[in-house]
Structure 1
């Protein structure tokens, strides 16, 4: 059964099926054409036979008419008629009728009376037919017609007896006998049957027929009602043979009886000469099918045999075996396909080798990559597991300051530097079997199979000491350090993935602390889990609206008028209660959640500003932007959508940026600030004076305001140096055309000192601490500025 689905079997079956279909189609077409031509030929034969039969009946009637005329011209017969010698007349009619084959003869006078007859009691239909024939002949030389007498068909002739006028009529009847239809059969090869309907029209009788008696009986049943189809063609089924027949009406009696002639031709006999041709064609078809089966089997084997070889090769290729080639020495398409397979095998083998190198080898340094290192680590763990008390450790390191090297000296220099680092690290391996790998970027790892923790630490210290020596490359000297994380089996994990993860965690801790190396400790993961938990809580807090907007007033120092406020965020945890910003803002900045928090702040401040403007209150609210915010190129678009939603102008808000945020990526930060400034936002430098490059970038930044850090303002009344710094900063800001705001105003004395220095605005606990929005609005209504005059007098005294 399975062999039926093979291509070889399908090809053989296809060839045989096509041949058989074509031969069957030809056979059916030929058979149909033969049958159609035979029937057309039979129809023509029947048409000709009809004319021949009519002519034969006419000739027979003429023959009978001549015999009757001979009797009518006999002198003795006419003399007997003249003397009305009836016995003589009857004798002459009988003797002469017997000579010419008439089964009945009558002498009919001019008055229509039968004077003599060979039939003792003439049939009424015979009398009527005779009289009608006499009237039909009239004054002519005689007439003839067919008539049904009893249950038989007769040809009746009427001839006048003249002396010299017509004195009587001789009427003779001749039955249609078997001789007539036999002659017709010999002339035309048609079967001829004379049928006479029975009295009352309940059936038919076969008068004479060239058919056998059983066939004639079957014909009577097949004909049915021939009168309704007289003269037409009908198909008959007689004795297992098919006939095509034509019905000819011959006579109609006054009592309803009728006679017909059935001319029929066997279709089977007509096609018999062609049946031998069909047998020959069938034999040729059988031989052709057998020959096609053999030829197609040979051809299919020639096609499928190399295909099976190709399938075997494809299977081996699928299994990764590229060693055995395929050679098909043919010039046709299969040969070209075999050559293509061989070429494919060679190219796949070459690519597999390249892929293997790409998959397991670092292309830059030639060291094993992360995938191969993981395999080596799995093998080392399995080997250690088989030996009681054995261990294996890994070191994962990340170079310090490598990103700056790439940014300053270019990636090509960085690639060359990594190659030099790989060579130096390879030279520092202390233990036999140690494997150095490059995991990606500036990360390297060392596998130490069979080494305990002490040996791993010794190897890490050796690496750190080696990296303390600067690297010279392309006339450049580069100082590099590294953070190294250490983990080992079985102390820190049972699988390669776990050890790699733990070593990476320890490595990042080492880099963050600057401690050089860190051995993995489960407490590190606990801290990481707490961080992940805090991030999830921050997201839920934003969804559940647990954050609250706080405002710290900003006032004009010269007038004491409230001009705005700095927007701050506080977290009211449903379980932990109030959480200060220092407990979640740094984490939000580290994880990037600060972007979502900034948008929330902007939305809250915009909604509040819209409400106050509708009440006629004009305040400028300040919103802090973090480093992550400045690196987000989509931030201006998000802010524009918020302003449009609340029908605000950008000038209603001030955006505060710290110096450190600008210095992390000055180019991108400046691009974002310029877009925000072009939109119309007021920009402020927060915590001014604490950075180390403020003046270098201040002249290029599109800022409107400086906020002096509170560390200089809070003690300026007691510390003259702080007062000098504040005064210089105020003068610098004014010289640059900027508004100056002092943070940390916590006493009335500091308020007036700043006013005397010309500082524009102040912000601090003296005026008000950060407070919820409703408290801020209530405080604003109650706020009263200090008495300027009294303070001036006190200072003068």
Structure 2
């Protein structure tokens, strides 16, 4: 049984659940046992305290009866009356021995000791007796506990009356191990009697424990406050005890206590047997659970393994294996679902195969199947050192038929065309396929170029007969391209590509059929090569940013630059924009180029601003840029990266770019205007845009095309056009910028006409961006130069 298998996981789950439940129960019972045992011990100690006090009272009662017996003895009274000291001492000694008193004495009415059985008496004992006499006077007798030489004593005082009180009999009994043993017999408690010396040390006087354990108890009591009566945890020897402290007497700094102790281990022992029983039951339960879970897991995983094997067969494409599992539970339902799934997959695979390799409209092989057939034909031709050819055909005017007659008619026409093409095939090895749209392809295995030309001519001849469909007669032509193995390619994709090139050449030239030739494909290869080189130029940073300054014509102040792009090719050298920009526009690469130019222009603007130079950057947008609805968002991201305000840029758009798709262009321009960037109409006057439309655009300036400015000095018509454009721009509230200023005369003429700004070779040719700072320091407008020349002439 593998650890990660479903069977092992089911067994582990059952086992973990059983263990979790049993452990939770075990710890809950353990906690309950501890709490209940300690509560029971505490209650037992409180009962023990009452029992011990009753036992002490009983001892005191017995001692009082013995003392009363002596006090009521007639001979003893006569001896006291006659002051017969010898008789008194003899009576005291005899009665004291009879009741095992350690001290027996007669106290006179003057509170002095008249006779005693001991030679000396401790002052503490005498003091305790005198206090008891005070109590006995009112109560008839008195008992108490005293301390003498660090030993506890129980003291009894009774009066001697004849009939009035003639003295007091006092007896002291040492509290010994016997009372502790009696208490032990009456309960399950350990009893220890300890006295505290004036030095603060506890001395075990009597104990039911061993001397070593009693000494350990005395040492642990040393740091416990005197007012603490319950000790929940004491460790004596190898056992834990709970204890209760009873204060018996305290005299002259000496103190007597009784410590009742109950072993926690003994109290918990009966419950331990219960825990062992539970543990045994837990082990048995785990064994039963493991056995049961293994059985249940195998009942579940066995059928699942069979279904897994069935799934592997289905994965290999075997849809015929039996799925027999006669069960009425969920697994039985799963097996039925597997059988249904198998049948569904088999049917769908057949349908998918049909859709993948057959054209649903004409029931002809599609492009995927045709490529497989062509690869097989190429392999066979290579093996036999023969050739095979492909014909690709595209119908003429089919789009017009679709537009006029509708797609349903077009579909029916394609089906009729497929039937006509199949009728032209004279060999069962020839295969025809529909590649898509109105394109068909024919495979001619083991056929030479002459046979391919003959088949193409026969097909074109058949198309000369109009097709009648739904009372409509349709006259269709076609362009056919031919490519063959091994002359034109060694794989299916290359042969189809070259047959397509030949087909478009046939449609362009009007020839009946065209066989592929490398010269036909030269222009497409050059285009592909240029696009590849453009992509490499972007990746290898071959583009360079150039700028051309723009000045205010009235003052000569440089107020901005126009950003331009140059391509420094590693082999061709400097490539100018007119050599690659149109191609970039056509292929869509212009968007990548625009992003590059905006990014570099923003970096230049930020760098100049950091040096205290504030210039506005003008950059051109193409038609594809205006159709990009995400352009404003991309441009704003560039500005944010370089911490620039949108007013730092002016984006220039040609009239033709706007008119290609006016609606989308206006949407893009309005979004650019909304973020705060200036907009300019570039090359104004060269397009065919409507002024009524242009006035709705959110633009800020017009740029007069340089073709009008270059000849303005000698061509009156150009002068009129420029003046009219300037007036038009101002009337529309726009700034006017002139391109192509190449002479000071053109500058002065534009300034007189009221043109706002200008740029051109007279001001500066386009320069690398890194040379702009030096040019700015060296720039001097023509007014400044004229003033200098005038001053110099006057000086001469």
Residues in 1 aligned to 2:498 and 2:527: alpha-carbon distance in whole angstroms? 16
Partners of 1:282 and 1:242 lie apart in 2 by 24
SS state at 1:778 partner: coil
- Displacement of 1:432 in angstroms is 4.5
State the alpha-carbon separation in 1 of the partners of residues 470 and 547 from structure 2: 55
Deviation larger for 360-369 or 82-91: 82-91
Paired residue for 1:443, among 439, 445, 460? 439
Q: Unmatched 5+ residue regions in structure 1?
A: 549-570, 604-622, 658-675, 683-769, 786-797
- How far did residue 125 of structure 1 move? 2.2
2:108 is matched with: 109
CA distance in 2, matches of 1:424, 1:404: 21
Q: For residues 282-334 of structure 1, what are the alpha-carbon distances to aligned partners after superposition, in whole Å with 9 as ceiling and x for unaligned?
A: 22222111111111111111112222223333333334433324333323222
Q: Contact 1:229–1:247 at 8 Å: present in 2 too?
A: no
Give the Å deviation of 1:638: 6.9
Which of 228, 243, 246 is 1:245 aligned to?
243
Deviation (angstroms), 1:653 = 6.7
* CA distance, structure 2, for counterparts of residue 222 and residue 78 of structure 1: 51
- Give a deviation string over 1:157-206, Cα, whole Å, max 9, x none: 1122233333322111112233322332233332222122345223322x
Give the Cα–Cα distance (whole angstroms) in 2 for the partners of residues 275 and 37 of structure 1. 13
**Given the two structures, how large is their TM-score scaled by the length of structure 2?**
0.71
1:90-239 correspondence to structure 2 within 5 Å: 90-138=89-137, 140-198=139-197, 200-205=199-204, 207-225=205-223, 228-239=226-237
Structure 1 position 361 matched with structure 2 position 358: yes
CA contact (8 A) 2:711 2:718 kept: no
* 1:535/1:636 CA distance change after superposition, 3 Å: farther
What is the CA–CA distance in structure 2 between the aligned matches of 1:367 and 1:197, rounded to whole Å?
Answer: 118
Q: Bigger shift: 593-602 or 105-114?
A: 593-602
> Contact 1:109–1:168 (CA<8 Å) still a contact in 2?
yes
Q: 1:592 to 1:436 in 2, by over 3 A?
A: same
Pair 1:34–1:593, CA change in 2 (3 A) = closer
Out of 383, 401, 406, the position equivalent to 2:397 is: 401
Q: CA offset at residue 133 of structure 1?
A: 2.5
What do the CA deviations read for 1:717-760 (whole angstroms, capped 9, x no partner)? xxxxxxxxxxxxxxxxxxxxxxxxxxxxxxxxxxxxxxxxxxxx
Cα contact 2:71–2:77 (8 A) shared by 1: yes
Kindly state the Cα deviation for residue 481 of structure 1 after the two structures are TM-superposed. 1.5
**Cα pair distance change 1:411/1:631, threshold 3 Å:** farther
SS in 2 for 1:138: helix
Kindly state the Cα deviation for residue 228 of structure 1 after the two structures are TM-superposed. Answer: 2.0
Q: Please report how far the alpha carbon of residue 33 of structure 1 lies from its aligned counterpart in structure 2 after TM superposition.
A: 1.6
Task: Name the counterpart of 1:779.
Answer: 714
CA–CA separation in structure 1 for the residues paired with 2:49 and 2:27: 32
| Structure 1 pair 225–95 and aligned structure 2 pair: CA distance change class (3 A) | farther
8 Å CA contact 1:145, 1:155 repeated in 2: yes
- 1:337 maps to which residue? 334
Distance 1:476 1:462 in 2: 24
Show CA shifts across 1:124-179 (max 9, x none).
Answer: 32223223323343354221111122343211111222333333221111122333
Within a 5 Å distance, the mapping from 1:759-774 to structure 2 comes to 772-774=707-709
Task: Find the counterpart in structure 2 of residue 716 from structure 1.
Answer: none
The alignment covers a number of residue pairs equal to 631
Contact 1:226/1:247, CA 8 A, preserved across alignment? no
* Distance change >3 Å, CA 477–CA 251, structure 1 → 2: same
Where does residue 663 of structure 1 map in the other structure?
none
Q: Distance in 2 between matches of 1:418 and 1:299?
A: 63
Distance 1:578 1:233, change over 3 A: closer
Cα deviation per residue 1:1-20 (whole Å; 9 max; x = unaligned)?
A: x8111111111111111111
1:38 aligned partner:
37
C-alpha distance 36-572 of structure 1, shift in aligned 2 (>3 A) = closer
Q: How far apart, in 2, do the equivalents of 1:479 and 1:594 lie?
A: 41
CA distance in 2, matches of 1:45, 1:324: 78
Distance in 1 (CA, whole Å) between partners of 2:624 and 2:428 is 61
Q: Secondary structure at the match of 1:3?
A: coil
Closer/same/farther in 2, CA of residues 527 and 79 from structure 1, 3 Å limit: same
Are 1:325 and 1:345, in contact at CA under 8 Å, matched by a contact in 2?
Answer: no
Deviations 1:36-79 (A, max 9, x none): 12221221221122112112211211221121121112122122
CA distances 1:199-249 after superposition (whole Å, capped 9, x unpaired): 5223322x2222344443443334334562442243222343322211101
Note if 1:634 corresponds to 2:664: yes
Residues 631, 420 of structure 1: alpha-carbon distance in 2 compared, 3 angstrom cutoff: farther
- Show the counterpart of 2:456: 460
C-alpha distance in structure 2 between counterparts of 1:589 and 1:182, whole Å? 116
Q: Secondary structure at the match of 1:679?
A: helix
Q: Contact 1:227 / 1:249 at 8 angstroms: preserved in 2? A: no
Radius of gyration: which is bigger?
A: 1
> Which moved further from structure 2: 435-444 or 270-279?
270-279
On the 8 A contact 1:158/1:172 being kept in 2, the answer is yes
The answer as to whether partners of 1:104 and 1:119 remain within 8 angstroms in 2 is yes
User: Is the contact made by 1:230 and 1:249 (CA closer than 8 Å) also made in structure 2?
Assistant: no
Q: Provide the secondary structure at the position in 2 that maps to 1:484.
A: strand
Does residue 500 (structure 1) correspond to residue 530 (structure 2)? The answer is: no
